Structure 1
Amino acid sequence: MKRKPFVPLLLASALAAGAIGGCSESSTGGKGTAETAPAKHTNYPEALTYWVPMTAGVAATMKSFNEIAAYKEMERITGAKVDFRHPAIGQEKDQFNLMIASGNLPDVIEYVWASVPKGPDNAIKEKRIIRLNELIEKHAPNLSKVLRENPEFKKLATTDEGNLYMFPYFADVPDALVYNGPALRQDWLDKLGLQVPATLQEWESVLTAFRDNDPNGNGRKDEIPLLFDVRVMNFGHAFVGAYGITSVFYQDAGTVKYGPIDPRFKDFLAMMNRWYKEGLIDKDYATLDQKLKDAKMTEGLVGSMAMNTGYGIGTYTSIMSKTDPGFKLVAAPYPSLEPGGRSIGHKESSFNGRGAAISATAEQPEKIVRWLDYAYSEAGRLLFNFGIENVSYRLENGYPKLTDRITNHPDNLSMGLAITRYSHGTFAGPFVYDKRFAEQYMPMPEQKHAVAVWTKADHSKLLPPFTMNSGQSSKQTSIMNDVNAYFDEMVNKFIMGVEPIDNFDKFVATIRKMGIDEVIRLKQDALDRFVKR
């Protein structure tokens, strides 16, 4: 089939159209999810400031979390007016560090606290945030119940020093934990008479066929067999996981290891260098941002890439249905070295280190605790996952069913962007993810198939989200800033052939000089403490 032209801004235009159409919607024009409560309640704060990174889904149609219907409903229920403060997208880390260093803090700070320099225990000691154990026990019955009924959640959310320091995000649902992996153009496979590859050798054969046989049908040799991304590899472990290692830290029978200094990482780099030289990988892969990746995929150039079930299979399938009805994606198993083997694959922890902490300068923290606790109640769970009853969802025999306003938006807003106008369901926050949302959020059979396929990968070597004490965290940060910068530079040089693979041993020696063995020791200590919690 001849490739149809595609305007690179189609995705952005679709978002903009949804934003314009969505602005006229009634956010809370239905029965609320919570029981009726006075407009002002003495149990809650009258007002609070709340710092939280903006997400792409919210930013596509809104300027602030204040516009999300769930938070408007929270104000109606509790009487608390929230002033949300968002750092610029892409500057979250720098602005967080500046804010913490300044001591000029909002009442609530939502962040991935497991990644902060010196760790959350030190943030408590330095009077940036407060310990919440006693406040949660006394004023947060809903979160207390969740922790009591799910001891593994409590273990994950508690520091080595025994501190509960935030209202956490929990998601113990396979559809929410496994959402990234390799996928290919099924229609290209069908056109060329190929099967979904399962080993690296089979992948190489498929990629070669994509390169040589004009599967997009435009008469030009412009296909990109694999759109590779080092950042996605570090996150999801596609292709490198076939060697039994990752490109980051992992564990092997309880022993912490760093994949890039393993001899098998050299084998992986040699393979990727060969694929790059043979035109199986996009020559510009190292400079691509998300918009350029989207454009290449939707222009019909890309044969395969690692992608998410939502912003990936769901988004591309939806967009391409309008320009190329034959377009079809299929998830592939994480490739192994040998037939029947297993590769390390992506899987999130049920707790990813993100949550809402209360700053040490906040007034009446017990009232803020009560306000945050509402999201962990049954009514709050519905509100934060599904939004507003009889608007974004309806209860059918006790089951919260998303309405047509979400699943078939009148202005063609995608399902993900439509529900984001009403709830927190598509992105992490201080609440418990509901599996009933996951059951409806991925309606496409291709998405359900992807989760089933990717879940079969080996997840036993992935590290849990443990924390370090302040001294260890500071030491690790100092070393890893240099290691990560050097890694990013050299991996691309090896793959592109700028640096000979024969210099891999020098690469390892340099990383060792930078102190990687010290970081491995620190992480081993942290893992051992975590296991003993």
Structure 2
Amino acid sequence: MKKVLSLLFVGILFIGVGCSSNQNNTKLPQKESKKESNVIYDGTYGPIVKDKITLSVFFNDNANTPSDDKEIWQQLEKDLNVDIEHTANPNAKSVDDYNLHAIDGFPSDIVGGSKIYADAQRYAEQGAFYPLHELEHVMPNFHQYLNKPENSEIKAAIMGIDGEYYIIPNLNPPATYIIAGTAMFIRQDWLDKLGLEVPQTTEELEQVLIAFRDGDANGNGLKDEVPLVGNLNKTYASLPTLFGARTRDKEPTNGKMIAEGTSVKHAWFTEDMKNAIIELSRWYDEGLIDPEFITFEGDPLAYYFPNDLAGVTYEPLYWGGRLNYRDDAPEGFNLVGMLPPVNQVTNERMYNDERYRLKDHGWAISSSSKNPEAAAAFLDTFFTEEGHDLIGFGIKGIHYDDIETKQLFGMDFRVPHYIGEIGTEIYEEGKTRLTAVKERGGRLPLGLENDYELGYGNLDEELPASYNTFVLYDEAKKSGELKSGEYLPLLNGFMTSEERDEVAKLKSSIDSYAEENYHIFLTIPYKKIDDKTWNAYIEDAKKLGLDKLEKIYTTAYARYLEANK
């Protein structure tokens, strides 16, 4: 087992996700390896130790951080014969709290949280966590999962540059169904009124937007329609794909970095992006895009659509679908999902928000744990059906009494029937299953495989407009009609600690620079976005370290490809 390296910190400034420095000599304790005769876990859900012990669990998920008063965690303690001491601060941001815990040497047995994966890789390299293969004898379910052929991509991604794996990330099943995170929505009632069809190409979409602008689609005699609206960091981040430019990778930690063959580029500085921005700026000049998209305060969807002013958006499926069921929706309001139109650059329906396998969350076993085998057994229980169902559905007999199998999206889904207080909240008060279970300590982004049933099992009943849109996108993906670009694996584990630190310094400033200039480009006359303007934009990005950033990612990608020949 590797010796633990020193963690070096100075005053840590936390900006966004996982920015930390390593400048003072805060040391992590060395790992201990000893046989724990008290551990009786054999891969079956139930007691993991003969004599009860206390396991300290640090898992910060912001407002949903688990605590002693959460019913699901109380049940988990009883089932596993352990006392769980929750050590995360629910009043702190997850990444901030995580890095503060690192300064103390990760004193908890198990440490994790949401949006911590990049930092966790850095600490793992420095010896902060147990290599999980050393605890394989008490993690049979996890290792069986990892060695399934369909999960080879996951195993490769979490193994890292040193050939070890330390962190169990929050996972999605193989992407064979339900791939859509966001989707385009259009007013079918406006299309019907104006005698139009759902647009199939970007050129047709432009003509529909013009008709919405000029044809008095809302029938009030005023030219007050705003054809295309949305939230600043949702809709507008997706719009370049309408003109053939990829905007991001599906792995959240890669963000705006995308694969181009064996190279990795920043999506917002490509020639394709330049052409897309020019076209979108032209749409803005022509009044097809919300003129207040930058300055609008609040949720534009909740303003424009209920007031019968908007025609098209590109938003998360839940948000778009819910608009149909608002009490203040206009009479006859009918917002339906539509596929991204075929763009004239790549001649395909380009989509950039496909579901990814690894999420930016998870947990690991601290090197300072006095009970590493018990901690490993604890983590492994979430790869049993009972552990999975407890965190996903709640407590059987208290929260639900039965699980039915439903056919959704061409797959078998296990959907619980809720009872008691939680059943009343869901079936009578309209609370979503997600919210109701979260309030009791479930649905956390722990190191386990999510089933999409946990969020979408009753989507066909709760939000038919969203469900129908999921099906639309899923079928288009399966048929090959919908394209999402080359897949870039999560690359943090294939960077050296120095490279990872460099990325932490460069990426956020370059991303912010790109976003700020995108908004400026959209609002200036489109003819001003010429070669001189674009080249100046690129040159300033290079001064911020664009070339260095792309080189680090490309090098890490080469290591990944070499390791997975």
> Cα offset for 1:360?
3.2
Residues 496 and 300 from structure 1, CA distance in 2 versus in 1: closer, same or farther, beyond 3 angstroms?
A: same
Q: Which residue of 2 aligns with 1:130?
A: 130
Q: 2:324 aligns with which of 310, 317, 320?
A: 317
Aligned to 2:366: 359
- The 5 Å alignment of 1:266-415 reads 266-288=274-296, 291=299, 293-310=301-318, 312-318=319-325, 320=326, 323-324=329-330, 326-338=332-344, 341-390=348-397, 391-392=399-400, 394-396=402-404, 400-403=414-417, 405=423, 408-415=426-433
The aligned amino acid for 1:351 is L
Alpha-carbon spacing, 1:477–1:278, altered in 2? closer, same or farther (3 Å): same
Residue 37 to residue 483, structure 1, CA distance change in 2 (3 Å): closer
Deviation at 1:54, TM superposition (A): 2.5
Q: 1:103 to 1:316 in 2, by over 3 A?
A: farther
- The change in CA–CA distance for 1:258 and 1:239 in structure 2 (over 3 A counts) is same
Q: Which residue of 2 aligns with 1:460?
A: 485
Q: Give the letter for the 1:461 counterpart.
A: E
Task: For 2:499 and 2:203, locate their aligned partners in 1 and report how far apart those are by CA, in whole Å.
Answer: 42
Match of 2:78 in 1: 76
Question: Deviation per CA, 1:202-256, whole angstroms, max 9, x where unpaired?
Answer: 2222222222334344554443322244532687x44336424326221123332
Identity %: 22
Matches within 5 A, 1:501-520: 501-502=529-530, 503-520=533-550
Equivalent residue, structure 1, for 2:162: 161
What amino acid is aligned across from residue 460 of structure 1 in structure 2? G
Residue in structure 1 matched with residue 202 of structure 2 by the alignment: 200
Offset at residue 514 of structure 1 (A): 2.1
- Note the alpha carbon deviations across 1:434-482, whole angstroms, 9 max, x for none: 2544662421443333224334321232422122221111122222233
Superposition deviation, residue 94 in structure 1: 4.1
Closer, same or farther in 2 for the Cα pair 1:157/1:68, shift >3 Å?
A: farther
Instruction: Tell me which amino acid in the other structure corresponds to 1:282.
Output: D
* Matched residue, 2:551: 521
Q: Tell me the amino acid that sits aligned with residue 86 of structure 2.
A: D
Paired residue secondary structure (2:234): helix
Taking structure 1 as reference, are residues 352 and 37 closer, same or farther at Cα in structure 2, changes over 3 Å only? closer
Question: Structure 1 length as normaliser, TM-score?
Answer: 0.80
* Counterparts of 1:518 and 1:35, CA distance in 2: 48
Q: Find the counterpart in structure 2 of residue 109 from structure 1.
A: 112
Q: Which moved more, 1:126-135 or 1:390-399?
A: 390-399
Which of 263, 272, 286 in structure 1 is aligned with 2:271? 263
Q: 1:453 to 1:369 in 2, by over 3 A?
A: same
3-state SS, counterpart of residue 464 of structure 1: coil
Question: In 1, Cα distance between the equivalents of 2:124 and 2:58?
Answer: 18
Query: Structure 2 counterpart of 1:190, which letter?
Result: D
Deviation at 1:376?
0.6
* Residue 481 (1) aligns with residue 508 (2): yes
Tell whether the 8 Å contact from 1:228 to 1:281 is kept in structure 2 after alignment: no
Q: Is the 8 A contact 2:87 2:108 kept in 1?
A: no
Q: Distance in 1 between matches of 2:176 and 2:349?
A: 19
Displacement of 1:517 in angstroms is 1.6
- CA–CA separation in structure 1 for the residues paired with 2:396 and 2:521: 54
CA, structure 1 residues 158+301, in 2 after alignment: closer, same or farther (shift >3 Å)?
Answer: farther
Aligned counterparts of 2:115 and 2:552: Cα–Cα separation in 1:
20
Counterpart in 2 of 1:142? Answer: 141
Letter in 2 for 1:430: G
Indicate if the aligned counterparts of 1:182 and 1:238 stay in contact, CA closer than 8 A.
no
1:7-27: CA deviations, max 9, x gaps?
xxxxxxxxxxxxxxxxxxxxx
Q: For the Cα contact (< 8 Å) 1:331–1:446, is it kept in 2?
A: yes
* Structure with the largest fraction of helix: 1
2:38 paired residue number = none
Whether the 8 Å CA contact 1:466–1:530 is kept in 2: the answer is yes
Tell whether the 8 Å contact from 1:227 to 1:302 is kept in structure 2 after alignment.
yes
Rounded to whole Å, the distance in 1 between the matches of 2:370 and 2:523 is 55
**Who is 1:7 aligned against?**
none
Distance 1:377 1:276, change over 3 A: same
1:418 aligned residue? 436
Contact 1:140/1:370 (8 A) holds in 2: yes
Residue aligned with 1:388, SS = coil
User: Could you say if the C-alpha distance between residues 523 and 35 of structure 1 is closer, same or farther in structure 2, counting changes exceeding 3 Å?
Assistant: closer
Q: Return closer, same or farther for 1:528/1:316 CA change in 2, 3 Å cut-off.
A: same
Residue 9 of structure 1 corresponds to none
Structure-to-structure mapping, 1:2-151, within 5 angstroms:
41-42=49-50, 45-54=53-62, 58=64, 64=66, 68-78=70-80, 79-83=82-86, 85-86=88-89, 88=91, 91-101=93-103, 103=105, 106-107=108-109, 108-116=111-119, 120=121, 122-135=122-135, 137-149=136-148, 150-151=151-152
Residue 357 of structure 2 aligns to a residue whose secondary structure is coil
> 1:250-308 CA deviation, whole Å, 9 max, x = no partner?
11233322222222222211122122222222222224566454444444443222222
**Are the aligned partners of 2:348 and 2:483 in contact in 1 as well (CA < 8 Å)?**
no
Q: What are the within-5 Å matches in structure 2 for residues 442-457 of structure 1?
A: 442-443=459-460, 444-455=463-474, 456=477, 457=482
Whole-Å separation in 2 of the counterparts to 1:43 and 1:68:
23
Secondary structure at the aligned position of 1:85 is classed as coil
CA contact (8 A) 2:95 2:114 kept: no
Distance (Å, rounded) in 2 between the aligned partners of 1:69 and 1:314? 31
1:212 aligns with 2:237: no
1:385–1:423 Cα contact (<8 Å) kept: no
Post-superposition Cα deviations, 1:124-177, rounded to whole Å, max 9, x if no partner, equal 243443332212x02212211211223333223221212221222221255554
Cα displacement (A) at 1:394:
0.9
Tell whether the 8 Å contact from 2:130 to 2:364 is kept in structure 1 after alignment: yes
2:29 alignment partner in structure 1: none
Is the 8 Å Cα contact of residues 224 and 281 (structure 1) preserved in structure 2?
yes
- Cα distance, 1:123 vs structure 2: 0.7
Q: Secondary structure at the match of 2:310?
A: coil
Partners of 1:275 and 1:281 within 8 A in 2:
yes
CA contact (8 A) 2:213 2:226 kept: yes
C-alpha distance 216-401 of structure 1, shift in aligned 2 (>3 A):
same
- Mapped contact 1:44–1:368 kept (Cα < 8 A): no
Aligned mates of 1:258, 1:326 — CA distance in 2: 43
Q: Residue 182 of structure 1 corresponds to which residue in structure 2?
A: 184
- Pair 1:489–1:421, CA change in 2 (3 A): same
Partner residue, 1:16: none
Q: Which has the higher strand share?
A: 2
The correspondence for 1:226, drawn from 225, 228, 244, is 228
Q: How far apart are the structure 1 equivalents of 2:219 and 2:387?
A: 51
Q: Is the 8 A contact 2:342 2:348 kept in 1?
A: yes
1:493 is matched with which residue? Answer: 520
More displaced stretch, 457-466 vs 238-247 = 238-247
Partners of 1:289 and 1:80 lie apart in 2 by 46
**Match of 1:231, SS?**
coil
Shift of 1:408: 4.8
Tell me the secondary structure at the aligned position of residue 461 of structure 1: coil
* Partners of 1:406 and 1:289 in 2: CA distance: 35
